[in-house]
Chain A
Amino acid sequence: MPTHKASAYPRKHFFFEMFTRDISLEDCILDLIDNSIDGLLRSRNIQVGSSLLSLSSNGDENVNRKLPRIEVSYSARRFEITDTCGGISRESALSDVFNFGHAPGEVGGSLGVYGIGLKRAIFKLGSQFEMVSKTMGEGFSVNLDVKKWVEKDDNLDDWRIPLQYIGGAASEQAAGTTIKITKLRPEVVMRLDDGTLAQRLHSIISQTYGLFMGKYVQIILNGRKVDPFHIPIGDSNQVTPAHDDYQDGEVNVKLFASLAARGSNQTWKSEPAGWYALCNGRIVVAADKTDLTGWGTLGFPQFHDGKHRGFVGVALFQSDNPLALPWTTTKRGLHRESPVYLHARNRMIGVARPIIKFLDGMYKADAPEEPAGRAIANQVTRTGLSEIAARPVTPFSVRVIPGRRPKTTVRVQYDAEMTAVQRIRKHVKQPGWSAGQVGKYTFDYYLETECPQ
């Protein structure tokens, strides 16, 4: 029997029109920021696994240094992202950057996993794009009318994108990439102008790249610097956060969990409570209170808004092979079928349990906070992930300070009719009892007969 070969070629039109529908505008913009950060990690030779949580290179000493910048700006006519993150080499541009996906064994970067983000974002946003990228030694530019490029689709050679070589950057600080997209799609223009996108993007960027900002990079959105979000995990001299650390194949997993830092009014808010999951430093799930992070599974309770708002947990997945990480293609979710995630979820329940027990004890029957627990919680202030990571693996613990035994009694006072008190005196044959003794007797009687232990 002769064998015939059916056509199974890719079609540009699919990528241009369909491929972009399952991803939000926000996620497309984050994909572009991912590419910039990957460029930075590559050009500065930063190892996410070892340095992201290191104390030595973390924090304040870098604040005043001139960090590389990623600037995102947009209007109804154009979208632009410019970075000073080192640029893309010509070789990489010729053989990798514009491909749809990576070949087996190729690793894109720490955050750019699938090799689709840049193309998908361009197609999603508009039909004309310009790109200029300069490393220290060389540069290239692209100017593409996407619609025209899509129209010609006779063979795989038509998938190539023309580049022009240009000179390199004058300094490391100037090396970087600019992507400008014009002829924006009408639906994109509508979203860009909906009055809420800017604020929403600001908070998503702040949250997603909290670990990178202020340490490696600054991100500026429409001229306004984005401040990093800090996960509100807390500790005190009495409260030690849980710290679990293990290797699962190619992925290192770190789990931290503790009480949340208290706000200035000595309360917890429900919104930031829950689990945060990070893949190579990028937050992919924030303040999760669902079964995705173990709530309501394996006998672990559902998130209870009143009781559990004091819980914060962090699951950090790190790998040199980002494909091994349990993130979804949009990188804003966890891949539910990933064995790494499934095993981590079970262990997240294990580390969270003592904290939930503490909180359950603090909010018995939804009553106001139990005083001893409140005194402990009020001392809890925000700590950094680097600080927790630097400590040994340990379960969550609360140290009770000797000599400060919390008060366990409360004064009960109420008014009663004198005739009623007298009736009780008569009934129990204790005419000399004070009203207080009658009150104590009746309270004890009720406790014993109606509330037996």
Chain B
Amino acid sequence: MSDPSRSYLKVNYEFRPAKQVERRMLIDAFQMLGEGGFPIREYRYVGMGSVYFIDFILFHRLLGIDRMMSVEYDTLIEKRINFNRPFDFVDIRISPVADVIPNLSPDQKHILWLDYDDIISRNQLQDIALASTYLAGGSILLVTIDVEPPTDTDRPKDWKEYFVGEGGDYIDKKVPLGAFAKSELPKRNIELVDKALKAGLVGRSDVGFIPIFNFLYKDSHQMITVGGMFGGKGEKRKIRGSALADAFYYRPSLRREPCVIQVPLLTRKERQYLERLMPYDDSYSPRDFEITTDLLHAYREIYRFCPSYAELLL
């Protein structure tokens, strides 16, 4: 089994603005699901906290979740992981997530975030299938993957070969090469995730997968996060009846275009200036500095979720 990349050595997770916007949107969505009748506070969060545990801290502080498990593959940093554990109730498991999923309690609703930093692989597809095999109805699954070209070469032929090799039966080998153009790769990844979800759900008559999220964002690499809930008609009705159904990032189908998270590079002064006028009209344009309409609109969508960075002298 391949060793997942040690991205915590490359990126300080705290400074990934698009990822942070995504986290804040997820929290926004979970709050709306809570208001819509899902007891999110009672859920158990299972994630891949690495040494930063940012999602754990946010989910506890903002959602009140206090049942948590962080799964880490890298046995070399076990002490470091434990050292950085933010709360005593965060259970740490040093093992592949595939070993953990089958043992998640069927009596407990989970939020499971398979937050990979790598390009898609057969192990990840297996994890996804396991999640949809085991997670109880009402549970939420999030899958994040890198959707950059999977090989160092610039040839879609090589990329297709990679996807066929890793995707196995999930991928139609007759799909033309054009479907593996760089701009198409997010779609191919989403299709693979969808198929793995379906494979895991085969035989389960109690639940299906109800899509909710489909984010596309880029800090350094282009990433997608696909997510939704396992449930039946009752869950679907509750989601559609909640305020979440009106959120601009809500995606009830994986075939819909993803919600692209674009974080405009604005100064603090520019942000404060624009935020005083939120939500501005489509026709609005500031008189005091130059900014494109696209960026203006992008910022209007995400300003509520956008982090501010400052140096703290501790």
Taking Cβ atoms with an 8 Å cutoff, the residues of A that contact B are 244, 246, 248-249, 297-300, 338-347, 349-351, 353-354, 357, 360, 395
- Chain B residues with CB under 8 A of A350: 98, 101-102, 130, 133-134
Pair B202/A343 contact, Cβ less than 8 Å? yes
- Chain B residues with CB under 8 A of A297: 169, 199
What residue of chain A has the Cβ atom nearest to residue B98's Cβ? Answer: A353
A68 CA / B168 CA spacing, docked (Å): 51
A370 CA / B123 CA spacing, docked (Å): 24
Q: Which of A341, A343, A351 contacts B204 (CB 8 A)?
A: A343
Smallest beta-carbon distance B129→chain A, Å: 5
Pair A340/B1 contact, Cβ less than 8 Å? no
Known: A347-B134, A349-B129. 8 other contacts (CB 8 A): A298-B129, A339-B203, A340-B203, A346-B199, A349-B126, A350-B101, A350-B102, A353-B99
- Chain B residues with CB under 8 A of A342: 202-203
Pair B103/A343 contact, Cβ less than 8 Å? no
Most buried by B among A297, A298, A344: A298
Pair B125/A347 contact, Cβ less than 8 Å? no
B106: interface (CB < 8 Å): yes
Pair A357/B99 contact, Cβ less than 8 Å? yes
- Chain B residues with CB under 8 A of A354: 99
**B residues contacting the other copy or chain, number (CB 8 A):** 25
A299-B102 in contact given A339-B205, A346-B202, A350-B134 (Cβ < 8 Å): no
Pair B1/A357 contact, Cβ less than 8 Å? yes
- Chain B residues with CB under 8 A of A299: 122-123, 125-126, 129, 168
A298 CA / B130 CA spacing, docked (Å): 9
- Chain A residues with CB under 8 A of B147: none
Q: Which of B1, B133, B169 contacts A346 (CB 8 A)?
A: B133
12 example contacts (A-B, Cβ-Cβ < 8 A) are as follows A248-B203, A299-B123, A299-B129, A299-B168, A339-B202, A343-B204, A346-B129, A347-B102, A350-B133, A350-B134, A360-B1, A395-B99
What residue of chain A has the Cβ atom nearest to residue B105's Cβ? Answer: A393
Most buried by A among B133, B202, B203: B203
What residue of chain A has the Cβ atom nearest to residue B96's Cβ? Answer: A357
B69: interface (CB < 8 Å): no
Smallest beta-carbon distance B292→chain A, Å: 44
- Chain A residues with CB under 8 A of B96: 357
Pair A298/B125 contact, Cβ less than 8 Å? yes
Taking Cβ atoms with an 8 Å cutoff, the residues of B that contact A are 1, 96, 98-99, 101-103, 106, 122-123, 125-126, 129-130, 133-134, 168-169, 196, 199-200, 202-205
Interface of B: prevailing SS: helix
Those 8 A-B pairs whose CB atoms lie nearest each other, nearest first: A343-B203, A342-B203, A299-B126, A350-B102, A346-B133, A299-B122, A339-B203, A342-B202
- Chain A residues with CB under 8 A of B98: 350, 353
A343 CA / B200 CA spacing, docked (Å): 8
Pair B200/A346 contact, Cβ less than 8 Å? yes
Smallest beta-carbon distance B91→chain A, Å: 15
A360 CA / B2 CA spacing, docked (Å): 13
Smallest beta-carbon distance B219→chain A, Å: 28
A350 CA / B130 CA spacing, docked (Å): 7
- Chain A residues with CB under 8 A of B199: 297-298, 346
A51 CA / B269 CA spacing, docked (Å): 75
A347 CA / B130 CA spacing, docked (Å): 8
- Chain A residues with CB under 8 A of B102: 244, 347, 350-351, 353, 395
- Chain A residues with CB under 8 A of B133: 343, 346-347, 349-350
A338 CA / B196 CA spacing, docked (Å): 19
- Chain A residues with CB under 8 A of B168: 299
A299 CA / B103 CA spacing, docked (Å): 19
Pair B203/A345 contact, Cβ less than 8 Å? yes
Smallest beta-carbon distance A346→chain B, Å: 4
- Chain A residues with CB under 8 A of B203: 248, 338-346
- Chain B residues with CB under 8 A of A298: 125-126, 129-130, 196, 199-200
Smallest beta-carbon distance B278→chain A, Å: 46
A344 CA / B134 CA spacing, docked (Å): 11
- Chain A residues with CB under 8 A of B122: 299
A246-B106 in contact given A344-B203, A346-B202 (Cβ < 8 Å): yes
Most buried by A among B122, B129, B168, B169: B129
A353 CA / B200 CA spacing, docked (Å): 15
What residue of chain A has the Cβ atom nearest to residue B200's Cβ? Answer: A346
What residue of chain A has the Cβ atom nearest to residue B127's Cβ? Answer: A299
- Chain A residues with CB under 8 A of B129: 298-299, 346, 349
A349 CA / B96 CA spacing, docked (Å): 15
A345 CA / B203 CA spacing, docked (Å): 9
